[in-house]
Amino acid sequence: MRTAEPLHLRLLRLLRDQGAVSRAELADRLEMPRPRLLAELDRLVNAGYVAEAGLAASRGGRRSTLVELNPGLRFAAVDLGASSIDVEVVNGRLEPVIAYAEASDIRSGPKVILQRVNELLQKAKVEGAYERLDAVGIGVPGPVSFRDGVPVSPPIMPGWDRFPVRELLTREHKCPAVVDNDVNIMAIGERHGGVAHSVDDFLFVKIGTGIGCGIYLTGEVYRGTDGCAGDIGHIQVDSHGPMCSCGNVGCLEALFSGAAMAKDATVAARSGASPVLAERLAASGAVTALDVAEGAVEGDVTCIRLIRDGGRRVGGVLAGLVSFANPSMIVIGGGLAQLGHILLAEIRSVVYRRSLPLATGNLPVVLSELGPRAGVTGAAVLASDVAFGEAL
Question: With binding defined as CB under 8 A, does residue 290 bind its own copies?
Answer: no
Of 81, 139, 194, 230, which lies in the binding site for its own copies, with binding defined by CB under 8 A?
230
Of 46, 218, 285, 392, which lies in the binding site for its own copies, with binding defined by CB under 8 A?
218
CB of 200 to its own copies, least distance (A): 8
Question: With binding defined as CB under 8 A, does residue 234 bind its own copies?
Answer: yes
- Residue 188's CB: how many other CB atoms inside 10 A? 29
Q: What is the 3-state secondary structure (H, E, C) of the chain?
A: CCCCCCHHHHHHHHHHHHCCEEHHHHHHHCCCCHHHHHHHHHHHHHCCCEEEEEECCCCCCCCCEEEEECCCCCEEEEEECCCEEEEEEECCCCCEEEEEEEECCHHHCHHHHHHHHHHHHHHHHHCCCCCCCCEEEEEECCCEECCCCEECCCCCCCCCCCCCHHHHHHHHHCCCEEEEEHHHHHHHHHHHHCCCCCCCCEEEEEECCCEEEEEEECCEECCCCCCCCCCHHHCECCCCCCECCCCCECEHHHHCCHHHHHHHHHHHHHHCCCHHHHHHHHHHCCCCHHHHHHHHHCCCHHHHHHHHHHHHHHHHHHHHHHHHHCCCEEEEECHHHHHHHHHHHHHHHHHHHHCCHHHHCCCCEEECCCHHHHHHHHHHHHHHHHHHHCCC
Question: With binding defined as CB under 8 A, does residue 80 bind its own copies?
Answer: no
CA 177/CA 96 separation, integer angstroms: 18
Select 25 or 161, whichever has its Cβ closest to its own copies: 161
Select 103 or 358, whichever has its Cβ closest to its own copies: 358
Select 110 or 214, whichever has its Cβ closest to its own copies: 214
Which of the ranges 99-107, 171-179, 217-225, 276-284 carries the binding residues for its own copies, by CB under 8 A?
Answer: 217-225
Sign, CA dihedral 235-240-242-245, equals positive
Of 228, 259, 267, 278, which lies in the binding site for its own copies, with binding defined by CB under 8 A?
228
| Interface with its own copies in residues 247-286 (CB under 8 A) | 248
Select 2 or 147, whichever has its Cβ closest to its own copies: 2
Question: With binding defined as CB under 8 A, does residue 10 bind its own copies?
Answer: yes
CB of 325 to its own copies, least distance (A): 6
Which of the ranges 53-61, 70-78, 212-220, 384-392 carries the binding residues for its own copies, by CB under 8 A?
Answer: 212-220
Which of the ranges 183-191, 218-226, 284-292, 371-379 carries the binding residues for its own copies, by CB under 8 A?
Answer: 218-226
Question: With binding defined as CB under 8 A, does residue 222 bind its own copies?
Answer: yes
Which of the ranges 4-12, 58-66, 257-265, 279-287 carries the binding residues for its own copies, by CB under 8 A?
Answer: 4-12
Question: Beta strand 135-140 with 177-181: parallel, antiparallel or unpaired?
Answer: parallel
End-to-end CA distance of the chain: 23
CA 221/CA 336 separation, integer angstroms: 23
Q: Residues 122-151: x/- map of binding to its own copies (CB under 8 A)?
A: ---------------------x--------
Of 57, 126, 358, 392, which lies in the binding site for its own copies, with binding defined by CB under 8 A?
358
Select 178 or 321, whichever has its Cβ closest to its own copies: 321
Question: With binding defined as CB under 8 A, does residue 357 bind its own copies?
Answer: yes
Q: Residues 23-52: x/- map of binding to its own copies (CB under 8 A)?
A: ------------------------------
Question: Chain centroid to CA 82: how far?
Answer: 14
Which of the ranges 66-74, 91-99, 215-223, 286-294 carries the binding residues for its own copies, by CB under 8 A?
Answer: 215-223
Question: With binding defined as CB under 8 A, does residue 223 bind its own copies?
Answer: yes
Residues that bind its own copies (CB under 8 A): 1-5, 10, 143, 152-153, 201, 213, 215, 217-219, 222-232, 234-236, 246, 248, 316-317, 319-321, 323-328, 353-359, 361-362
